Structure 1
Amino acid sequence: TVTRTLTELGLPNDRVFAAAFGPHHPAVPNVDAESRAQNRRVEISTVPRAPSSAENTETGEGD
């Protein structure tokens, strides 16, 4: 799976999340084999880390 591959490549397990949308959010209508193939996809987004408690949230610098 994509999540397993990402963690094997060194991403921390707690920073990887997968969600399946299936037929609820197709990229294109599922009318034929070609469109169904387009809907078999993985979308990857980055999510910024929350600042640590020791980090100054205004400057982004630690103590």
Structure 2
Amino acid sequence: MAWKKEPAPKSVVKDDLLYSLNSIMTVFNPARNNAGERVVTLFETGEDPGNKLPSPQAPGTAARTGDI
């Protein structure tokens, strides 16, 4: 992968990914919210595609089957 001449503006990074990238650690693995794939796409296209993974449901909110 080649470096882009112009960095992607911070404004194109969605908040959930931005919070992961603003880690206080020098070396870290941004894994939440599909961060790894999103960073690669950000570098390749200049846009954050957002988290495409379904968010987990809160306990007790799963659809019930068999109810009338």
TM surpasses 0.5? no
* Band of TM-score, shorter chain: under 0.3
Larger Rg: 1
TM-score by length of 1: 0.26
